């Protein structure tokens, strides 16, 4: 996340987000940075800042946000949203931005791979008898080794 380039501003971006769940309260942000202070990702990566992402949204930098991988660093922990004094739904906004990035074809390769696995197999990590034996030893209930129902759901799309 380098300097902000206002040349590429899309003035309708905020309105587009404000119409969707998670984007309604974004204009209430008064740049206090409480979200950054509590963010576990900002604590280990100084380049990541929810406050800066909010600013970029307010400046209408749609393409710059959606095509960048930094939105995918958000771990959806909700700390920022709990702490925001202005009631900005920051975590939900991050999810909204991720969904928009997928729709516009900008998601990172790993996300497409995970999506393909879930749609095809119903799970990212297959469960087999070996896993269930380990679960038996740990006193945990066995899990089904097939996810046919999930696969069917995606086929009905
Ligand atoms: S905590 Fe809320 S008001 Fe403060 S900078 Fe973050 S989004 Fe804006
Ligand atoms: S939800 Fe995302 S942006 Fe907010 S504190 Fe957690 S990791 Fe940071």
Identify the pLDDT of residue 18.
92
Burial 126-155 (b: 16+ CB within 10 A, else e): eeeeeebeeeeeeeeeeeeeebeeeeeeee
Q: Whose CA is nearest to atom 2 of ligand 1?
A: 84
Q: Whose CA is nearest to atom 8 of ligand 1?
A: 29
**Cα of 90 to ligand 1 centre, how many Å?**
8
**Cα of 79 to ligand 1 centre, how many Å?**
12
Distance CA 148, CA 153 (A): 9
Please count the other Cβ atoms lying within 10 Å of the Cβ belonging to residue 15.
12
Identify the pLDDT of residue 156.
67
Tens digit of each residue's pLDDT, the chain (157 residues)? 556 667 778 889 999 999 998 888 999 999 999 999 999 999 999 999 999 999 999 999 999 999 999 999 999 999 999 999 999 999 999 999 999 999 999 999 999 998 888 887 788 888 889 999 999 999 999 988 877 777 778 776 6
Can you give the pTM of this predicted structure? 0.82
By residue count, the chain amounts to 157
Identify the pLDDT of residue 157.
62
Burial 30-62 (b: 16+ CB within 10 A, else e): eeebbbbebbebbeeeeebbbbbbbebbbbbbb
Identify the pLDDT of residue 58.
94
Identify the pLDDT of residue 89.
95
Give me the domains of the chain, ranges plus CATH numbers: 6-103 (1.10.1060.10), 109-155 (no CATH)
Identify the pLDDT of residue 108.
92
Identify the pLDDT of residue 5.
67
Using the atom order of ligand 2, give the atom closest to the CA of residue 39.
5
* Token digits of residue 109: 């390769």
């Amino acid at each position: 996340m380098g300097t902000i380039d206002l040349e590429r501003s899309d003035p309708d971006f905020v309105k587009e987000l404000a119409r969707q769940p998670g984007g309604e309260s974004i204009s209430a942000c008064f740049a206090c940075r409480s979200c950054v202070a509590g963010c576990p990702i900002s604590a280990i990566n100084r380049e990541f800042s929810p406050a800066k992402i909010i600013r970029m949204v307010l400046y209408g930098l749609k393409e710059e946000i959606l095509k960048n991988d930094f939105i995918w660093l958000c771990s959806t922990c909700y700390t920022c949203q709990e702490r925001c004094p202005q009631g900005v739904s920051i975590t939900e906004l991050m999810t909204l931005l991720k969904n928009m990035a997928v729709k516009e074809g900008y998601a990172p390769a790993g996300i497409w791979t995970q999506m393909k696995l879930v749609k095809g197999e119903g799970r990212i990590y297959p469960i087999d008898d070996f896993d269930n034996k380990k679960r038996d030893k740990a006193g945990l209930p066995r899990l089904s080794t097939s996810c046919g129902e999930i696969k069917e759901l995606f086929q009905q799309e």
